[in-house]
Amino acid sequence: MIKMQDLQKHFTVRVKAGRLRRKKRTVAAVDGVNLTIERGEMVGYIGPNGAGKSTTLKMLTGVLTPSAGEVSVCGLAPVPQRTKLALRIGVVFGQRSQLWWDLPLHESFELLRHIYRVPAAEHAARLRRCRSLLDLDEFLDTPVRQLSLGQRMRGELTAALLHGPEVLFLDEPTIGLDVVSKQAVRAFLAELGATGDVTLVLTTHDLADIERLCERLVVIDHGRVVHDGSIEALHARYGSRRSLVADLEQPLPADFALPGTVLTAVTANGHRVTFSLESTTAAAAVAGLVAAVPVRDLSLLEPDIEDVVARLYTSP
Ligand SMILES: Nc1ncnc2c1ncn2[C@@H]1O[C@H](COP(=O)(O)OP(=O)(O)OP(=O)(O)O)[C@@H](O)[C@H]1O
C-alpha cells in the first residue's frame, strides 16, 4: 500500500556566517527511509521535534518532491499523480484545515461530495456513520470558524473520510484537544482501523494515541528510522520492567533484599516502596515481600511507554 525506498528530502537553508555573510547549509530532513506498510495496518510514526515526520508525510501525500529515493502510495507516485492520489487518500493535518471557514460544517461536506464526485448514497452513508460516531449533529449548522478545536477536528476527520479513502494520513490528530475529545477521536480511529479497510499512518507526540491505536511503531530521529516494530518489541529492546509498588505498615528493615528485584524508590517516610521486577515474577515478589513485612496495599505497574521513548530519543 505504501512503499518508501531510501527516501530522502534535503533542504538548503542559509545560516549566518559572520556579521553580514550568509552561507548555505543542507539539512537532511529525511535521510534514507525504507518502509513498507501493508493494507489495513495502523502505524504510529513518532520522533522528537524536527525528526522528519511531517516532511515524510508531505512526500507521501504529494506536497513535497523527494530529493532522492522512491515513494509510492496506492501504487501511485505522489507528486506526478497527485490528483489521482487525492481520490484514494485522506489527510488530516492538525494545524491546517480542509474546511471552508465561513460555511456551516454540513455545507463543507456537501462541497467535498461534489469535488470528489462521490455518489450521493455513498456520501450519505459515510456521513451518517461519522455523525453518530463523532457526535456531529450539535454543530453541523455552525460555521467552521465558530467551532471549538475539538469540534473542528471531528469535522476534519469526517471531511477526510467522505470520499472513502484507502489510506488516512493523520499529522497530530489529537493536538490541543481536551481529554474527552481525545478519547472520542481515538475511539473513532480505533473503530475505523478495526474494519481493516483503511490503512492508517499517524504522527503524534501523544503516546497514548499510539498505545490505543497502533500495533506498529516507527520511530524516526534525524531523518532515519531508529525503531520499527511493536510496542512490546520496544520494551524488550530497552529492557523495560514492570514495577511492584507496596504500601507498608512500617519501613523496610535496613538490610532487606527481595530476590530478583531492585528497590527503585522509597517514599512516604519509608512506607511506600517500589521494586523493579528484574528476574522474578510478580507473584514471587509479592510472596517474598508479604512474608517479610506487614503490607497494607499492593499494585503492579506496567512499563511506561513515555520512559522508553524518552530513552530512545536521548540515546546516541
Ligand atoms: N521548508 C523547509 N525548509 C527548510 N528546512 C525545513 C523545511 N521543512 C522542514 N525543515 C527542517 O527539516 C527537519 C525536519 O522537519 P519536520 O517538520 O519534518 O520535523 P517533525 O518531525 O515533523 O517535527 P515536529 O515534531 O516538530 O513537528 C527540521 O530540521 C526542519 O527544520
Read off the pLDDT of residues 201-218 as tens digits, 9 standing for 90 and up. 999 888 888 888 998 999
Please tell me which residue, 305 or 84, carries the higher pLDDT value. 84
Boundaries of every domain in the chain: 2-237, 243-305
Residue nearest to atom 8 of ligand 1 (CA): 55
Give the atom of ligand 1 at the shortest distance from the alpha carbon of 47: 21
> Predicted confidence band at 235 (pLDDT cuts at 50, 70, 90)?
confident
Q: What is the 209 CA–ligand 1 centroid distance (Å)? A: 22
Q: What is the mean pLDDT of residues 100-112?
A: 93
To test the ligand 1 pocket, which listed residue (10, 55, 204) has its Cβ within 8 A of the most ligand atoms? 55
Chain mean pLDDT for the chain:
91
| Residue 55 confidence (pLDDT) above 80 | yes
> Predicted confidence band at 115 (pLDDT cuts at 50, 70, 90)?
very high
Residue nearest to atom 3 of ligand 1 (CA): 11
Q: Which residues line ligand 1 (CB under 6 A)?
A: 11, 13, 27, 29, 47, 49-55
| Residue 311 confidence (pLDDT) above 80 | no
> Residue 111 belongs to what H/E stretch?
helix 105-115
State whether residue 288 is helix, strand or coil. Answer: helix
Q: For residue 245, list its beta bridge partners.
A: 274, 299
CA dist 237 and 227 (Å) reads 10
- pLDDT at site 312: 77
Residue nearest to atom 6 of ligand 1 (CA): 11
Percent of all residues in the chain with a pLDDT value above 90, rounded to a whole number: 66
Q: What is the mean pLDDT of residues 179-184?
A: 87
> Predicted confidence band at 283 (pLDDT cuts at 50, 70, 90)?
very high
49 φ/ψ sector (left φ>0, alpha ψ -120 to 50, else beta): beta
- pLDDT at site 284: 94
Q: What is the mean pLDDT of residues 128-144?
A: 92
CA neighbor of 213 nearest in space, from 193, 184, 233, 236: 193
- CATH tag, 2-237: 3.40.50.300
What value of ipTM does the predicted structure carry?
Answer: 0.96
Give the atom of ligand 1 at the shortest distance from the alpha carbon of 172: 27
CA dist 298 and 304 (Å) reads 18
| Residue 23 confidence (pLDDT) above 80 | yes
Residue nearest to atom 28 of ligand 1 (CA): 50
Q: What is the mean pLDDT of residues 88-117?
A: 91
Tell whether pTM > 0.90.
Answer: no
Q: What is the 52 CA–ligand 1 centroid distance (Å)? A: 6
- pLDDT at site 241: 83
- pLDDT at site 316: 65
Percent of all residues in the chain with a pLDDT value above 70, rounded to a whole number: 99
Please tell me which residue, 306 or 107, carries the higher pLDDT value. 107
Cβ–Cβ under 8 Å, residues 305 and 210? yes
